[in-house]
Amino acid sequence: MKPFHPLIVATTSAARRQMMEKAGLKVHFQPPGLNEDALRQANVGLDGKCMAQTLADAKASSIITPDSIVIGADQTLELHGQLLTKPKAMVDARQQLKAMRGHIHHLHSAVSCTRNGQLIYRHVETATMRVRDFSDDFLESYLAHAGPTVLHSVGCYFYEAGGIQLFDKVEGDYYTILGLPLLPLLAFLRNAAMIAA
C-alpha cells in the first residue's frame, strides 16, 4: 500500500482541531501565515460564501511544505445580507445577540486543500440558523454563564455547548455549523487516496 500524503491543517481553531482528531485523522496543526483582517478588508463586498471560501483558500495556501496536503477552513456569518465580525467586548456581544434575536442568519463554512501551494479542492456549505425570540433575562443569564468565551465566536455562541439554547430552528449539517464541512472533506480525501478508503 502506497504511503498517504502528510496532512497539515492551517488553523488555530480548537473546534476544528477537535473535529479532525475525533474523526481519527492523523494531521499536523500549524497557524496559518496570513493577516485575516487585512484579507477581509481587501475583499470587502464579497458575499458570505465567497468570503468564507477566499479565507479558506488563503489559509491553505499560506503554508507550503513539499508533498504535504494543507487544509484551510473558515466560516462567515451573514445577517440580513451583512457579514458580522467577532465582537471586541461583552457590550458588543450583547448588542449583536439582540440584533440576531428573532431573526435568521446564515453560517457559510468553507474548506480548501492545497498541494505545493496549488489549490486542489475547495467546497463551501451553508447552514441556516433561526435565533429564537429570547427574553432579556435569558440573554443576561446566557452572557454571565458563557463569559468572555463568546468573544471568540462571530455569532457569540458555541452551538456544541450552551449556545444551542439560542435557537428554535436550524437547517444544515452539524459540522458546517461548527465551522468545517467535514463529510465532503473526508470524501475528497478518500477519493484522492489521501486517507484510507
In this predicted model, what pLDDT tens digit does every residue of 10-49 receive, in sequence order? 998 888 999 999 999 889 999 998 888 899 899 988 999 9
Structure letter (DSSP) for residue 4: P
Query: How many structural domains does the chain have?
Result: 1
Q: Where are the beta strands (DSSP E) in the chain?
A: 7-10, 27-30, 69-79, 82-83, 104-115, 118-131, 167-171
35 touches 43 (CB < 8 A): no
In a domain, 1, yes or no: no
In a domain, 116, yes or no: yes
Instruction: Give the helix/strand (H/E) hosting 194.
Output: none
In a domain, 119, yes or no: yes
Q: Residue 112's domain is classified under what CATH number?
A: 3.90.950.10
In a domain, 2, yes or no: no
pLDDT tens-digit readout, 92-116: 999 999 999 999 999 999 999 999 9
In a domain, 197, yes or no: no
In a domain, 114, yes or no: yes
pLDDT over threshold 90, residue 66: no
Mean pLDDT of 186-197: 91
pTM attached to this predicted model: 0.92
Range of the domain at 146: 7-191
Residues designated as active site: 74
Query: Distance between CA atoms of 60 and 136, rounded to whole angstroms?
Result: 41
In a domain, 196, yes or no: no
